Structure 1
Amino acid sequence: MQKTAEEMATDIVQAAEVEILTNLVDPSYREPLRVDPAMLETMTDKGLLRVIHGTEVEIARQQALRARAIATLNERPGRSSTVPTELALTLSTTEGAAKRLVEHAETLTTRLPETLLAMEHGTIDWHKAVKICDATSWLDDENARSADRILAGRLTGKSASAIRRAAGKLAEKLDTEGFALRSKVRRAERKVTLVHRGMGTAALVSELPVERAAAIYRRIDTAARELNTRTEKRTLDQLRADVFTNLCLGKPAQSGPASRNLRLRHPAHSGRTDHRTRRSRSVGHPVHKGNCLRSKNSASTSQRRHRNQPAVPNHLDQASLARRPEQANVAEQT
């Protein structure tokens, strides 16, 4: 069967696409990716995805080259003290950011050569490599290189968060005593900072011992869920923010026209909420004793699901963290 002119044109475009995209994911491929933007409109969805992946691979390789260049410049005699300033001017960034670039470049070229090699192969980019640098920064050189070798085969297809968690857990296993000491220092450096976000908002960022942070969140979340009635228009996130604001300003945690008679009835360590009587309490109606008993003894699926819903994220188990605060992994802090 003879092909139409349109089908022949499509075959030609797809053949050119295959030729351009050949070996994009091959670690030995070193030629820069060049694709005419005019061809993007004619490419298939699979071809476009391969172009996107190919650009990410090329970006990672160029970032690895930049790291080597920064480290080489920093190693030259008499240049180490001036390199951050020169980088800040060259890259139009702050001197603090330039210093971090130098530190990470030095770490990759001296302590984490396998991670740098993974960047050169396009397996991970700079952002993911920095996660490994930060998670292993407190290890000595020998343990850092051990972690680097172990992680080398576990990086493919992992997100930055997954890489950070894996590197943090591995660092803890390699130096348990050092991890405990670092945790003690980090807990002593607790603080609260104000970060302006623009558009009329700001963020309060607190660095606290993990069991205390979990207890605070639990109290805020419990009060917010008490306020989350059927007539409440605010979202649960907005309720948490309002409760947090009121507590910090010394006002009652519960606020709003629908909660003027509401009192926080659950202790901070309890994540349970009385499902059937929540609405009655929130609007100020009396709760009969029989209703309370029926609610308490009810074994309905909805009640069990509500009571078993965690009031804090699953990875912040307050009870276990309070028993073993030294086990709170600092790598979990993002």
Structure 2
Amino acid sequence: MTTIVREKARLDAALIRTQARFVELRSAAGPDPVFSEFAASEIAIELDLSCSAAAAQLKLAHTVIYRLPATLAALEAGAIDLGRARAVVDATDSLSQVHAAAVEEKVLARGGRASHTLFRQALRRAVLAVDPDGAQRRHEKQRRERQVRIGPLDDGMAELWAFLPAAEAQAAYQRIDALARCAGAPDDPRSMDERRADVLTDLLLGRHHDYEPVHIEIGVIVPADTLLGLTDAPGELAGHGPIPAGLARDLACAANATWRRILTDPVDGSLLDVSRRRFPSAALARHVRTRDRTCRFPSCRKPAAACDLDHVQPHADGGTTDP
């Protein structure tokens, strides 16, 4: 199976080279390659695509060839697949050529990761690291575009969608999830998804149903030198992923007790200020969940706070209760 996947990646790279050459042959005059209005139509007919999908493929091919040669090389070698190559294109779209190359070098040096989600998270972290000023500007711009939308769905349903800053969205979800876990009786027939949906609706419509207060704690993981303002290395929001250094500093210094500041060593990333039996102490449990951040099964992104703690070596077989 691995051989087939690598061969498919090689063929995808060959198609990218072919499409990039086609763009050259159909480009209008000028410094930027703007292919003719009919180029995408020609590709669409050949590959049974819509014109918009064909245009997107041509743009992807040109970008990979001329801006991201290391990504193309990794695709040809089977180190990454086409989905990961697209992720590199998306992540570096707003960066300069120099910064894009630096992101490629950082991320591709460790391969494709265990999943697309982990690969995209690595890309976000690298973008924040190589262009911290730009990352802060982009965050501020995106924050100004926060919004809520509604759209109709089939069978009498609808979709309510919100575009929010990551910190507020993470805290809101944690509160909804905690209330939903407390809301159901043992014989409640609803699934957790149903209960979360009901809690959200109750809160928005003012039907509180005497929900018990719940404690929400969101970890803001900050390298010590970032918190001190010595560098702009990205921080991390537990359950979300990398965030700009400026945002990490703001959250870590906030007075709101919802946020727990977690300092890490800038050299090796080890935890500095989370304190340390068969069952772990509260401090040790917090330490492990903070360190691991998510479920340890490859590709699983379930937040560590929602996972079970267990010994690597069974306690009955002599396993110790330590980090």
Structure-1-length-normalised TM-score: 0.59
What residue is the counterpart of 2:134 in the other structure?
178
What residue is the counterpart of 1:300 in the other structure?
none
Q: Of 147, 162, 175, which residue of structure 2 is paired with 1:219?
A: 175
- 1:183-219 Cα offsets, whole Å, 9 max, x none, are 1111122233456676765543321111221232133
Q: Of 261, 266, 283, which residue of structure 1 is paired with 2:213?
A: 266
Paired amino acid for 2:216: G
**Contact 2:149 2:161 (C-alpha < 8 Å) held by counterparts:** yes
Indicate the SS of the match to 2:109. Answer: helix
What residue is the counterpart of 1:314 in the other structure?
239
- 1:237-289 Cα offsets, whole Å, 9 max, x none, are 210012223444x25144xxxxxxxx02316xx239xxxxxxxxxxxxxxxxx
Work out which structure has the larger RCO, using CA pairs closer than 8 Å and 6 or more positions apart in sequence.
Answer: 1
Indicate the SS of the match to 1:123. Answer: coil
Does residue 108 of the first structure (1) align with residue 64 of the second (2)?
yes
In the aligned structure 2, how far is the partner of 1:183 from the partner of 1:322? 13
Q: Of 197, 207, 213, which residue of structure 2 is paired with 1:252?
A: 207
In the aligned structure 2, how far is the partner of 1:314 from the partner of 1:118? 29
Higher strand share: 2
In the aligned structure 2, how far is the partner of 1:235 from the partner of 1:184? 37
What residue is the counterpart of 2:123 in the other structure?
167
In the aligned structure 2, how far is the partner of 1:320 from the partner of 1:230? 39
Indicate the SS of the match to 1:252. Answer: coil
In the aligned structure 2, how far is the partner of 1:118 from the partner of 1:170? 17
- 1:82-122 Cα offsets, whole Å, 9 max, x none, are 33333334333333333332222222111110110111111
Paired amino acid for 1:69: T
In the aligned structure 2, how far is the partner of 1:208 from the partner of 1:132? 24
In the aligned structure 2, how far is the partner of 1:80 from the partner of 1:209? 39
In the aligned structure 2, how far is the partner of 1:94 from the partner of 1:172? 35
Indicate the SS of the match to 1:204. Answer: strand
Distance 1:166-1:58 versus aligned 2 partners, 3 A rule: same
**Contact 2:40 2:54 (C-alpha < 8 Å) held by counterparts:** yes
What residue is the counterpart of 1:329 in the other structure?
none
How far did 1:156 drift? Answer: 4.8
Aligned-residue sequence identity (percent) comes to 29
- 1:207-232 Cα offsets, whole Å, 9 max, x none, are 11112212321332233122122121
C-alpha RMSD over aligned residues: 3.1
Indicate the SS of the match to 1:138. Answer: coil
Which residues of structure 1 form unaligned runs of 5+?
Answer: 1-51, 255-262, 273-311, 326-331
What residue is the counterpart of 1:278 in the other structure?
none
Paired amino acid for 1:108: V
- 1:24-58 Cα offsets, whole Å, 9 max, x none, are xxxxxxxxxxxxxxxxxxxxxxxxxxxx1111111
In the aligned structure 1, how far is the partner of 2:161 from the partner of 2:54? 24
Distance 1:85-1:193 versus aligned 2 partners, 3 A rule: farther
Paired amino acid for 1:266: P
Does residue 188 of the first structure (1) align with residue 144 of the second (2)?
yes
Paired amino acid for 2:191: T
Structure-2-length-normalised TM-score: 0.60
**Contact 1:211 1:322 (C-alpha < 8 Å) held by counterparts:** no
Does residue 64 of the first structure (1) align with residue 13 of the second (2)?
yes
**Contact 1:223 1:253 (C-alpha < 8 Å) held by counterparts:** no
Higher helix share: 1
- 1:132-172 Cα offsets, whole Å, 9 max, x none, are 11112111011112222333321155421222111111111
Distance 1:220-1:320 versus aligned 2 partners, 3 A rule: farther
Paired amino acid for 2:8: I
**Contact 1:61 1:120 (C-alpha < 8 Å) held by counterparts:** yes
How far did 1:127 drift? Answer: 0.4
Distance 1:80-1:118 versus aligned 2 partners, 3 A rule: farther
How far did 1:178 drift? Answer: 0.5
Distance 1:65-1:315 versus aligned 2 partners, 3 A rule: same
**Contact 1:132 1:163 (C-alpha < 8 Å) held by counterparts:** no
Q: Of 103, 112, 117, which residue of structure 2 is paired with 1:147?
A: 103
Does residue 234 of the first structure (1) align with residue 190 of the second (2)?
yes
Distance 1:82-1:210 versus aligned 2 partners, 3 A rule: same
- 1:58-78 Cα offsets, whole Å, 9 max, x none, are 111111111112211112234
Distance 1:89-1:196 versus aligned 2 partners, 3 A rule: farther
